[in-house]
Amino acid sequence: MEQLHWVRHRCQQLLGADTGRGWYSAPNGLPAKNSPEPHSSPHRFSGKRRTVFARNGPHQAEYHSISKGYQGNAIRTTKYSLLSFIPMNLFQQFHRAANLYFLFLVLLNWVPVVEAFQKEITMIPLLVVLSVIAFKDAMEDYRRYLFDKRVNNNIVRVYSGKQKAYIDQRWQDVKVGDFVRLSCNEIIPADMLLLYSSDPHSVCYIETANLDGETNLKQRQVVAGLPLQGAELTPETFHSRIECENPNNDLSRFRGYMENSSKVRMGLHNNNLLLRSCTVRNTETVVGIVVYAGHETKAMKNNSGPRYKRSQLERRLNMDVLWCVLLLFIMCLTAAVGHGLWLKQLKDPIFLLADDTSPALAGFYVFWTMIIVLQVLIPISLYVSIEIVKLGQIYFIQNDLALYNEQLDSGIKCRALNITEDLGQIQYLFSDKTGTLTENKMVFRRCTIYGVEYPHEDNARRLEVYEPEESEVPKRSLTLRSGCSVKSLSCRSLSCNHSSVSLHTLTGELEGDEEEGPSCPSQPQTSAFCSRMAKEVVPDPSLVKKLNCLASPLLPLSDSSSGAPPSLELSYIVDFFLALAICNSVVVSSPSQPRHAMPEARPPLRSLEEIKQMFQRLSFPPFSALSTLSPNQTRDQSPRSFTSRLFSRGKAGSTPTTTTKERVDLDQEAHLEASIVEDQRVSTGSSGKEEGDMGCHKLEDKETENDLKNDTANPGRTGDSLEDLTEGSGQCREVGAEDDADKLEYEAESPDEAALVHAARVYRCTLRGRSTQTLLVDLPGMGCLAVRLLHILPFDSSRKRMSVVVRHPLTGQVVVYTKGADSVIMDLAEAPQGAEESYGHIRNQTQRHLDNYAREGLRTLCIAKKNVEEEEYEAWLKRQLFAETSIENREELLMESAQRLETNLTLLGATGIVDRLQEEVPDTIEALQKAGIKVWVLTGDKQETAVNIACACKLLQPSDKLLTANCGSKDACAALLQELRVEVEHGEEGSAVGRAEETSAPTASASILVIDGRTLDWALQDELKRDFLEVSRHCKAVICCRSTPLQKSQVVQLVRDQLSVMTLAVGDGANDVSMIQVADVGVGISGQEGMQAVMSSDFAISRFKHLRKLLLVHGHWCYSRLANMILYFFYKNVMYVNLLFWYQFFCGFSGSVMTNSWVLIFFNLLFTSAPPLIYGVLDRDVAADTLMDLPALYKAGHNSKIYVPSMFWVTILDAFYQSLVCFFVPYFAYAGSDVGVLSFGSPINASALLIILLHQVIESHTLTWLHVLVLLGSAIFYFAFILLFSVWCVNCSPPLNPLGNETLQMSQPLFYMVCALTTVMALLPRVLFRALHNTMYPSAVLNAARIDRLDPEQYRRRMQHWNQTQSRSKSLPVCVDNPGLEPITDSVVS
């Protein structure tokens, strides 16, 4: 097994954040970290909490007293044991009302006065159904048992107090408080606090793929404040007490504190917790203490089993079952009244009657007898048959090759087993944009810095012709089959950064490899979001030209005559790319280094004296901020005092003036530009003259580069911040020089981060290493710089931004670099004092560029910075440390602290990232709209971006009217919604009139509503949601921009509940989970953002285009098959039961039957049970290709046209008619003869069987050899059974004797004549009616089925004619990046 299936298949809800607060802060707050007086502000907790002591530590008495109630680490996912299986399984099965009903009938038949059949015979149907389900449950539980056994017997090293060493123990023997030692590639056996890591920076990397499907690495930190930090922990000396929250299923939160012997408390948070089922990566050794074990771990708390929903068809089925119950009650009441009246009017009976039984009491007894006789009217086998049919449907869906993605080696996964028919009734589809409609493979496209736009036209041309190489196509993941011990699974070295391990290594599949050495090479693993398309960004020549100024030994002047950028603009550019390189959580690795090792900083390519001269020539005005540096900082940074003047001008007042003018050396100016864009120019067909010029420049640049390398000096510039860096390679280079020997790989948590880091690297602002406290960055012309990382303020959906707080490597000043949504950053950015005019120009230009990016369909991010004074930083740091070490309200305090720092930002620029549409998205959406499905797009992107993508994917046509709702207040929103409501209603009436006047005209324009997040908040309020719903209902599509995850779920719930329609939500990320769970059908796409959406979905697909066949083909088939099968079940049961009912009119309503009880019980249970199953799994009314080509056929399921109340009652009436024919034709044929009761019933049973089987042939759209085999098999089985029964059965059906009855009847010609006449008369009306109706009023499905039978040429012509008459929409032209990007000429109402 490749993964821990008990986690992968059963984790249902990954909560983004816990809104509840289980911890409450004291009024005075908490003491700061390592406070010597922890009780000065007492902790208060709500509810219960968990206290953990070391199992082998000094607090043995306390450990044994509190650990008795904690669970062990053994897991058990089975439902039953050998002793409990029978009682528990029966208990669960009798939760079904149908099973309880039939149990009641069995018990009722044991009452002598109402007994209808032999007691044993009545039990057979119930026993068969219970046995089949019990066998299925037993097999499933046995598989769970084998898996549990395999997992519980895995080996891990646990500290033993007796042996004073780590020994091998099974997972199931691990206890809370145990010290566990893990090595590289080992799977974590329980939730434990990280107390030691062999990493020099006290961090550990884990892979959570078994938990949430994400392959990118997560960083975890050793608990801060531990004594002997960095030294391996000695369990005997661990005196600390751990207080933490009780076990819960929130994977993103962990709260608690650790109190040492000195009563000093250290806060614990989620970054200190190693979760069960995750894998240790890139760390040789880690040690932790178990806090949650077994079923108390977060992974097992999320193990909630498969999803079960009630389908709409099932809800309607339950209603029809109630109608059958009512029908049964009427029939039994009729029999009871009839029996009472018959007895009352009976005089001088020739048979014996009980003297003391009154007619009323006898009628009461007959009522219950008839309940037993007519029990088949409530089909016990229907529910079991539906489950079997749905399993068959799921099998064919999951094995459809058209839904298989070869690149990802994944097909569709059906996680909800009982809503397949809902796929055929979808009316509203709600889709995320990024990763759902688009690839979510972000590629840097263009940027704007300092108000100057850099279009990157060569980069655009590259994306137009880009095609993925064969080597880039993901292959099936390889399992690490190293020679590591099966017991320890340690790599024993640090070179394990590219290895992978699966559960194969834990379940005995590597026993044969145990003798191999530990030096077996590991298989490479593809880095997250590192495609060739994202890496090979073509730089903009003008931006390269400006960056040349940093690499040039002869610094150009900053006036306009020289062509060099002003110094302020240059500082903006460098800060911009520095922010792209470091404002992220990217993990860096290379083939020669593990991810946690950092290459040491090398000396810069130019000497410090050259840097000094370079910045002296800029003639910067004095910089007062340097006076705020501490003496240590001034000493460390003194060689760069001149350099600091450039980067300290983030909030400078104006562009500095130059005092001298010199000519720029053209060869030096072209140095960077030629070296970077050489390959791109050659590939685009540059002239021979240009190539010759570039060659000359390269020769001259080579000499200059050699001179610069010879002048490199003073390696001691890195200061104290690099003392803890590990050794490694990483010689810094100038822009344009690429060293193939040192290929860095980036593990990013999102594709946006990866795209920006790769873009910065193209301009040689390269992130080379990362530790918890230091970042190593190459800057052009400055070499490798060590950037001290002070804080990371991570991204969250509320702030919509991420920030890093660093100590600038050149100025020593505290700087905040922020990136985030433009709507947020623009509000936080403010003009520096004295520079309002110039900064206002930069801001306006940047906003204009952002609007252009959005219109092109690009994802936009704004980049900003803030220089923080030391006093301000110290004051903020106190609050930040308090928030980080707080137990109560930690998330709220951290957000408040981040918001306090992220103010008065200086806008540096913005980026435009292209996220290409997935293949066939426009065709899929067009087909879904033709199928009558309204498609809504719910996205967090800008309005312009969302509208552009909607146009690209054909959701928005050029003739459509675009209605925008962007309001500044609730009152304005209410007025606008009223106006829009009137407009769309009048527009709909006008279009209807137009269509009525001229049917051959193209379809009238439809309305598309575009609403932003703020307006949507007001529209979802109780006073306005009805108007919003009315406007939306009349629109062809709705686009919700800047919407939050909560708003997405609210919109889906509003449409589902208020309009009573079938909804489907599709998404790929954690922010789509709530929307997916609220919808009737949730579809998750296994994309670039992990598996949260997949694990919360009902169906998991790999591409959006698969929705087309999933809904239009499989959805149509599943609904039509199941609906027809249910109607057929009701028909055959009512038809056969009525035969028994008609007989009561001729036997005094006594509850007698004209057939033996064995045939009566087996008729529906065995003889006619198999054909409906084949019908429900394999019937096909229209071919798959036709359903794909004619989406309009899908509309049949919208209003449940196949299974509607009228069809149910028509089926019941037809069953009544056929039962009358089936009973009275033999009755009149044998009238006046001396045949017995069983002889009279024999042709009735045979005719009923033939009628029921041939009825299915008439209703079936497909007749294959398998159908014929099952139908003939059922008939042969029936006749073989009754013949054998009549031969050897003497007294097995008292009081009647069936011996020789069937053989006698089947030897007479009258028997066959009666059967033939009865069958023809019963089925003839249905055949005639169907033929007449299909001739005069053929349905679209019937017409499509006729097209299927045509030859290919006729088929093509008929399809063209169909499309011309059914679809009149115009298609948009397609471009490469985002197909269909054209100016929108719609009328806009706002």
User: Strand order of the sheet with strand 766-770?
Assistant: 452-454, 443-449, 906-914, 859-868, 814-820, 801-807, 783-793, 774-779, 766-770
| Nearest in space to 446 (alpha carbons), one of 820, 824, 842, 849 | 849
The strand pairing partners of 256, in sequence order, are 244, 268
Work out the widest C-alpha separation in the chain, in whole angstroms: 137
Q: Which amino acid is at 1002?
A: P
Give yes or no for a contact between 752 and 913, defined as CB atoms under 8 angstroms apart: yes
* Torsion sign (Cα): 389, 390, 395, 401: positive
- For every residue of 176-242, DSSP letters joined together read TT-EEEEETTPBP-SEEEEEEESSTTSEEEEE-HHHHS--SEEEEEPPTT-TTTTSPP-GGG---EE
Cα–Cα distance measured from residue 843 to residue 436, given in angstroms and rounded to the nearest whole number: 32
Give yes or no for a contact between 252 and 620, defined as CB atoms under 8 angstroms apart: no
Per the rule left: phi > 0, alpha: psi between -120 and 50, beta: everything else, 930 is: alpha
Question: Residue 1273: how many CA atoms within 13 Å on its side-chain side?
Answer: 11
Give yes or no for a contact between 50 and 246, defined as CB atoms under 8 angstroms apart: yes
Per the document, the length of the chain is 1390
Other Cβ atoms less than 10 A from the Cβ of 1287: the count is: 12
Other Cβ atoms less than 10 A from the Cβ of 669: the count is: 22
Give yes or no for a contact between 574 and 809, defined as CB atoms under 8 angstroms apart: no
What is the helix, strand, coil percentage profile of the chain, to 5? 50, 15, 40
Query: Can you point out the beta strands (E) in 919-1073?
Result: 934-938, 961-965, 1007-1011, 1037-1040, 1063-1067
Q: Which residues contact 985 (CB under 8 A, 6 or more apart)?
A: 1034
Q: Is the peptide bond before 227 cis (omega within 30 degrees of 0)?
A: no
Cα–Cα distance measured from residue 861 to residue 576, given in angstroms and rounded to the nearest whole number: 12
| Helix 119-152 and helix 85-93, axial crossing angle in degrees, nearest 10 | 120
> Phi, psi (5° rounding) for residue 888?
-85, 135
Give yes or no for a contact between 804 and 901, defined as CB atoms under 8 angstroms apart: no
Taking the CA atoms of the chain, what radius of gyration do you get in angstroms? 38
Catalytic hit among 191, 432, 752, 1098: 432
The strand pairing partners of 1011, in sequence order, are 965, 1040
Q: Which pairing describes strands 783-793 and 801-807: parallel, antiparallel, or unpaired?
A: antiparallel
Other Cβ atoms less than 10 A from the Cβ of 897: the count is: 21
DSSP 781: T
Cα–Cα distance measured from residue 1054 to residue 1020, given in angstroms and rounded to the nearest whole number: 8
Give yes or no for a contact between 14 and 218, defined as CB atoms under 8 angstroms apart: no
Residue 673: strand, helix, or coil: helix
Q: What six digits make up the tokens of 1231?
A: 């009238």
* Torsion sign (Cα): 601, 603, 609, 612: negative
| Nearest in space to 1367 (alpha carbons), one of 766, 929, 1025, 728 | 929
Give yes or no for a contact between 907 and 826, defined as CB atoms under 8 angstroms apart: yes
432 is catalytic: yes
Catalytic residue annotation: 432
